[in-house]
Amino acid sequence: MNEVKNNFLQVGKSKIKVDGQALVTGQPVFVGDFIIPGMLWAKVLWSPHAHARIKKIDTSKAEKLPGVKAVLTYKDVPRIPFTTAGQGAPEPSPYDSFILDNKVRFVGDRVAAVAAETEEIANEALKLIKVDYEILEPLLDPKNSRKKNAPVIHDEKEARMPLPLAYQPKKNICAHIDIKIGDAEKALKESDYVIEHEYDIHYAQHTPIETHISTAYFDVHGRMVILTSTQVPFHVRRIVARALNIPVQKIRVIKPRIGGGFGGKQEVLIEPLVAALAMKTNQAVCLKYTRSEEFVSSRCRHPQIINLKTGVKKDGTFSAIDMRIVQNNGAYGSHSLTILCNTGSKILPLFKCKNVIFDGDVVYTNLPVCGAYRGYGATEGYFAMGIQLDEMAEKIGVDIVEWSKKIHILVGETSPVFAALGEGVEGVEQSISSCGLDKCIELGAKEINWYQKRRKKQTGRFRRGVGMTIMMQGSSIPEIDMGAAFMKMNEDGSFNLLIGATDLGTGSDTIMAQIAAEVLATETDKMIVYSSDTDLTPFDVGAYASSTTYLSGQAVIKTAQKVKEQILKVASEMLKEPLENLKAEHSTVFGKTGKVTFSEIANYSLYTKHQHQIMASDSHITHKSPPPFSAHFAEVEVDTLTGKVRVIKYVAAVDCGTAINPISAEGQTEGAVLNGLSYALCERYIFNEKGRMLNPNFDNYKIFSTADLPEIKTILVPTYEPTGPFGAKSVSEIGINGPCPVIANAIYDAVGARLYNAPFTPDKVLAAIKSLGNKFL
């Protein structure tokens, strides 16, 4: 089923975003644009210590400061453990967080919070809070977390895992996984070629241009409304209810437009605190993170130390893959187990291999907290795998491009890893029903001019090289994720489409409108989309796991089909023709003898006869998570004198099934690629010896800007995924996984030096070249 069906009228076409006009004219659409009369401003006192217990905290002076309305410490909030990870219930992340605690676990952890009439007063009040700390030994190296005498970061008795999974806080282990398929140890011994290496991949921040922001207030009935920049409004409602011990019924969560998320806002990070301040003051309260707070006190990408060993036979087939990981989660266990699992489940099934070991510990340290970040573990894993593949191809004497075509999973094939590894629990068996990876490899190689540029002998200061890798991701979490939609018809033939799916800037509102319009045989602009309001829209798990198009799109299809049936039924009555005579096209129902427009049908159903509202709703869960596939290629130029790497050209060829809105699919790919390049080459956290991040601003934590932009070429390779809406799979995450291995491989092609430690800053590149000694000519 790889044929391409492109006789669509609404999907597969580049459409302007349904929210585009509001965004481009700067209308009030973001949380910070809504000022509620009398609203207070919140500020948080952050821990200056990596690990300490609060012995005494005196807030009396702060409370007396005029304009201060509330000061909260751990004494003022319920002692209910929860996880900030915005996942389905029960979450596969440990309950190791409190709204405020009497212990601080990293520099930037919360100590107290203030709500005051102005931000200035709130900041003044923070200075008046006196804290007496018992300073504890900090644990700053993830390699030391499991040592016998290591300080225990979560020694509180409440810390627990809500699912029956390995959780050993006394050993600083917040998650563990070990999977054995076949006999990898034996297979490695019998392999003709074996490579083993350790790969080190680093901290990074999402840096959405809008930082975390939430406003909580009370409506006329005394219910709490939380206006928040979130990817997971329904999880926010549930987790706030838990953390504050109030009923879900008392909370309404509204997601307006979001200024970027990338996984960072799949975190119920500040909502419980803002809600607690609103309850204490009985007033509206807004908390927004500063840029520096966003770097230090929100969430990061999980650094991993990956030991990867692969064995290959003479014929180029894999005999074994042995991947062992130590993942640093920082001070709290958000997304700990699931990120680790994803490092295995999004990488290992790509390769035809019967013997697999996947083993990992996720450890606590007294460093900033990690969470979901686009790529979600796959980015980390492909860094190791992508480099090792390149190294292996060289070792066995084949071209990596040609070899890549031979080792990957094909349509109709399955991998035992799918069933063995899920999101914290066992996975779901699946076979591949669409795969355009060969075409991705072929078109990408052509676009980068691979065979002319690879392995060029060069001398001189500036040397160029090309590198590539292949990858896959998933589309939603099978048997777990659920999305739902509701739709009703209006007099003019327009439709309200209410969805739980959360557009975080990705354009999913537009994609859902296209899907609905395609089913109904109408125009995309006939859809009035409203998403993510827990009072008004049906449930959806939210925007994560590359799920929205694939999962929520199917809920929209089912809903629209039901609406269409009702439209046809009314048309049948109006035209006095049986249903089988009728066909909907261009917002009109045609019979054999006549036709009625959607508008006429809506008016008839609302006002004329057998009056009723044409409306429907439906939900969808998936039983598969079909992978999108991609091949990435890059050409770089290395300055061998300074070690600086310049990307000349980057090619991302991606099979996302049917691209519902091609311009959006390209935009997702380009955004992911540039973020990945920036991560590969310059983004990094610099800590001092006490665990303090030293560079929490854009001057010292460099992210790519237009001046750094190389030529980027996106190639959409259409396939048809039979389980997806109109053949679609996901596209949003996969693109970020390529740049780290691809750039490392291109640097090797240019100068002959391998880099195993990201990012590839000039100092590391230079050191790698120097380590070649006489071999570098």
Q: Residue 150 carries which DSSP code?
A: P
Residue 502 in tokens: 């959360």
- Which residue in 452, 611, 706, 774 binds another protein (CB under 8 A)? 706
To the nearest whole angstrom, how small is the minimum distance from the Cβ of residue 33 to another protein?
5
CA dist., res. 545 & res. 398, Å (int):
35
Residue recorded with tokens 């644990």: 139
Candidate segments 154-162, 327-335, 505-513, 581-589, binder of another protein by CB under 8 A: 505-513
- Judged by CB under 8 A, the number of residues near another protein is 58
To the nearest whole angstrom, how small is the minimum distance from the Cβ of residue 197 to another protein?
30
Give the up-direction half-sphere exposure of residue 715: CA atoms within 13 A in the CB hemisphere: 23
Q: Which is nearer to another protein, 640 or 737 (CB)?
A: 737
To the nearest whole angstrom, how small is the minimum distance from the Cβ of residue 214 to another protein?
15
- Which residue in 16, 150, 411, 528 binds another protein (CB under 8 A)? 16
Residue 484 in tokens: 């739902």
Residue 469 in tokens: 């890798």
Q: How many CB atoms lie within 10 A of CB 349?
A: 27
Nearest to 226 by CA among 284, 282, 265, 266: 284
Q: Which is nearer to another protein, 505 or 691 (CB)?
A: 505
Residue recorded with tokens 């700053």: 140
Q: Residue 79 carries which DSSP code?
A: -
CA dist., res. 154 & res. 97, Å (int):
10
Helix (H) or strand (E) holding 343: helix 336-345
Q: Which of residues 261-290 bind another protein (CB under 8 A)?
A: 261-262, 288, 290
Q: Which is nearer to another protein, 524 or 625 (CB)?
A: 524
Candidate segments 29-37, 62-70, 329-337, 397-405, binder of another protein by CB under 8 A: 29-37
653 binds another protein (CB under 8 A): no
518 binds another protein (CB under 8 A): no
44 binds another protein (CB under 8 A): no
Q: Which is nearer to another protein, 425 or 712 (CB)?
A: 712
- Burial group, residue 637, by CB count within 10 angstroms (0-12, 13-18, 19+): middle
530 binds another protein (CB under 8 A): no
Q: Which of residues 408-467 bind another protein (CB under 8 A)?
A: none
To the nearest whole angstrom, how small is the minimum distance from the Cβ of residue 204 to another protein?
12
Beta bridge partners of 488: 496, 615
Q: Which is nearer to another protein, 16 or 248 (CB)?
A: 16
Candidate segments 304-312, 352-360, 582-590, 672-680, binder of another protein by CB under 8 A: 672-680
Q: Which is nearer to another protein, 570 or 652 (CB)?
A: 652
Candidate segments 56-64, 91-99, 204-212, 589-597, binder of another protein by CB under 8 A: 204-212
In order of 138, 143, 367, the CA distances from 146 in angstroms are 14, 7, 15
Q: Which is nearer to another protein, 662 or 691 (CB)?
A: 662
To the nearest whole angstrom, how small is the minimum distance from the Cβ of residue 662 to another protein?
9
738 binds another protein (CB under 8 A): no
- Which residue in 221, 222, 699, 777 binds another protein (CB under 8 A)? 699
- Which residue in 392, 448, 484, 672 binds another protein (CB under 8 A)? 672
501 binds another protein (CB under 8 A): no
Candidate segments 202-210, 533-541, 546-554, 640-648, binder of another protein by CB under 8 A: 202-210
Cα diameter, the chain: 90
What's phi and psi for 749, nearest 5 deg? -65, -35
Q: Which is nearer to another protein, 526 or 620 (CB)?
A: 526
222 binds another protein (CB under 8 A): no
- Which residue in 152, 411, 428, 663 binds another protein (CB under 8 A)? 663
Do 496 and 487 form a contact (C-beta atoms < 8 A)? yes
Q: Which is nearer to another protein, 315 or 699 (CB)?
A: 699
528 binds another protein (CB under 8 A): no
20 binds another protein (CB under 8 A): yes
Residue 536 in tokens: 């008004």
Q: Which is nearer to another protein, 301 or 564 (CB)?
A: 301
The secondary structure of 571-621, three-state, reads HHHHHCCCHHHCEEECCEEECCCCEEEHHHHHHHHHHHCCCCCCEEEEEEE
Give the DSSP letter string of 237-298.
Answer: HHHHHHHHT--GGGEEEE--B-S--TTTTSB--SHHHHHHHHHHHTS-EEEE--HHHHHHHS
482 binds another protein (CB under 8 A): no
Candidate segments 180-188, 240-248, 442-450, 692-700, binder of another protein by CB under 8 A: 692-700
694 binds another protein (CB under 8 A): no
Nearest to 174 by CA among 203, 154, 157, 147: 154
526 binds another protein (CB under 8 A): no
Q: Which is nearer to another protein, 211 or 365 (CB)?
A: 211
507 binds another protein (CB under 8 A): yes
Do 358 and 178 form a contact (C-beta atoms < 8 A)? yes
Q: Which is nearer to another protein, 331 or 654 (CB)?
A: 654
To the nearest whole angstrom, how small is the minimum distance from the Cβ of residue 685 to another protein?
17
Q: Which is nearer to another protein, 60 or 700 (CB)?
A: 700
- Which residue in 2, 8, 9, 29 binds another protein (CB under 8 A)? 29
Helix (H) or strand (E) holding 392: helix 378-396
To the nearest whole angstrom, how small is the minimum distance from the Cβ of residue 258 to another protein?
6
- Which residue in 207, 230, 328, 719 binds another protein (CB under 8 A)? 207
- Burial group, residue 170, by CB count within 10 angstroms (0-12, 13-18, 19+): exposed
Q: Which is nearer to another protein, 17 or 43 (CB)?
A: 17
Reduced to 3 DSSP states, what percent helix, strand and coil does the chain have, rounded to the nearest 5?
30, 25, 45
Give the DSSP letter string of 526-553.
Answer: GEEEEE-BTTTS--B--S-TT-IIIIIH
To the nearest whole angstrom, how small is the minimum distance from the Cβ of residue 736 to another protein?
10
Q: Which of residues 87-106 bind another protein (CB under 8 A)?
A: none
Q: Is 188 helix (H, G, I), strand (E, B) or coil?
A: helix
Sheet holding 462-472, edge to edge: 462-472, 629-639, 645-655, 711-716
- Which residue in 53, 150, 670, 762 binds another protein (CB under 8 A)? 670
CA dist., res. 94 & res. 115, Å (int):
29
Q: Which of residues 711-730 bind another protein (CB under 8 A)?
A: 712, 714
Q: Which is nearer to another protein, 229 or 310 (CB)?
A: 229
Q: Is 518 helix (H, G, I), strand (E, B) or coil?
A: helix
- Burial group, residue 676, by CB count within 10 angstroms (0-12, 13-18, 19+): buried
Fill in the per-residue mask, 339 to 378: x = in contact with another protein (CB under 8 A), - = not in contact: ----------------------------------------
Using CB under 8 A, list all residues that contact another protein.
14, 16-17, 19-30, 32-33, 206-211, 257-262, 288, 290-291, 504-507, 663-664, 666-667, 669-675, 697-699, 703-707, 709, 712, 714
